[in-house]
Amino acid sequence: MIEDKNPQRTQLSDLGEFGLIDHLTQHFKIKQSSTLKGIGDDAAVLDFGKKRVVVTTDLLVEGVHFDLSYVPLKHLGYKSIVVNLSDVYAMNAEATQVTVSIAVSNRFPLEALEEIYAGIETAANVYGIDVIGGDTTSSTTGLLISVTAMGTVDAEKEVYRNGAKPNDLLVVSGDVGAAYMGLQVLEREKEVYKVNPNNQPDLEPYTYIIERQLKPEARKDIPQLLAELDVKPTAMIDISDGLSSEIIHICKQSEVGCDLYEEKIPLDPQVISTCEEFDIDSTTVALNGGEDYELLFTISQDDYAKIKANPHLTVIGHIKQASEGLHLVTRADTRIPIKAQGWKNFND
Ligand SMILES: [Mg+2]
């Protein structure tokens, strides 16, 4: 429906594997001083000196993680990079390099891969990282994209999921729930399109939430901001699966409990209005929606004054003893246990 129907179709077999890699990566330029050798040898060579190196990898599968009927290929390339960088920033690290591997079936011509790589290149430029290698191969079932991201961090700045302490504050960047509601709108328009392909959807009221779904951004700015504010989180994670699941990860690994305040959860007005339109509870969406790629972290109460006026950060709760459990404190002041997807069932 949104996809650009490019009439040109160059068979991948015309280029060969190495010709294809050269063609797709010819415009990639080295930006990081740690990249000694990028694409073009048997392996990339990186020099991180005395820094810690963080590595993370993700596999995106057509039909499981994305639907090409409404995800433009360029956005898919962009998002495949962003979701990996988000995991690097969640370690309080700086992202530096990625490798990208793609498997495609013969229904994808060269022009489709060029679109994906244009998105990858845009993300590499926006985030200042180098694409240093990867693989391309054929697939019988559809499109697969695997990205590995690398980054560096000073040993004393590294943040894991397991450092939250009782009385720490629970903080989230940006707002949550928008990517999930963007997906609901896109799924609805897909069904409308199936019935009437000539129908032009009016997506104007949903621009923010659709962008959050199709072209999410990773919070590169948050580790930088925290360094400027002289705040080191005690634990941190990125929000890929929804607030409740990420809170559970931090609390389990830190062996603590927490109170999360429903009224504090930051929601964009478009999320609230779209939830009303779809008759979905916005708190359920924030807790269980996912794909927001915001950062969720805990800080010592002593650091509260440093972050309290910041428009990018919201305190949404605090850490308690493990024995006190994990709870959502609702607007009506009732306490509901936080479970992975559990609150949704409770609501039903
Ligand atoms: Mg993560």
| Structural domain span for residue 60 | 12-156
Under 8 Å CB-to-CB from 161, ≥6 apart: which residues?
A: 235, 236, 237, 249, 250, 253, 254
Residue 218 domain flag? yes
Q: How far is the centre of ligand 1, averaged over its atoms, from the C-alpha of 289 (Å)?
A: 15
The overall average pLDDT reported for the chain is: 91
CA–CA distance, 243 with 42 (Å, rounded to integer): 41
Tell me whether residue 34 is annotated as binding.
Answer: no
Q: What is the pLDDT of residue 348?
A: 38
Residues 101 and 196 in one domain: no
Residue 149 domain flag? yes
Residue 163 domain flag? no
> Residue 254 sits in a domain of what CATH number?
3.90.650.10
| Top mean-pLDDT range of 18-22, 106-110, 137-141, 302-306 | 302-306
6 pLDDT band, cuts 50/70/90, is low
Residue 4 domain flag? no
Tell me whether residue 117 is annotated as binding.
Answer: yes
Residues 207 and 303 in one domain: yes
Q: What is the pLDDT of residue 347?
A: 41
Q: How far is the centre of ligand 1, averaged over its atoms, from the C-alpha of 67 (Å)?
A: 22
Above pLDDT 70, what percent of the chain? 96
Counting beta carbons within 10 angstroms of the beta carbon of residue 37, is it exposed (0 to 12), middle (13 to 18) or buried (19 or more)? middle
CA–CA distance, 333 with 348 (Å, rounded to integer): 19
Question: What is the tens place of the pLDDT at every residue in 309-347?
Answer: 899 999 999 999 999 999 999 999 999 999 876 344 434
Residues 205 and 289 in one domain: yes
Whether residue 9 has pLDDT greater than 90: no
CA–CA distance, 320 with 254 (Å, rounded to integer): 11
Residues 181 and 107 in one domain: no
Residue 318 domain flag? yes
Question: What is the tens place of the pLDDT at every residue in 63-87?
Answer: 989 999 889 999 999 999 999 999 9
Q: How far is the centre of ligand 1, averaged over its atoms, from the C-alpha of 156 (Å)?
A: 21
Q: How far is the centre of ligand 1, averaged over its atoms, from the C-alpha of 238 (Å)?
A: 5
DSSP H helices, 148-220, are 178-195, 207-214
Tell me whether residue 135 is annotated as binding.
Answer: yes
Residues 183 and 43 in one domain: no
Q: How far is the centre of ligand 1, averaged over its atoms, from the C-alpha of 138 (Å)?
A: 28
Residues 183 and 302 in one domain: yes
User: How many independent structural domains does the chain possess?
Assistant: 2
C-alpha distance from residue 82 to each of 108, 136, 291, 318 (Å): 23, 20, 11, 29
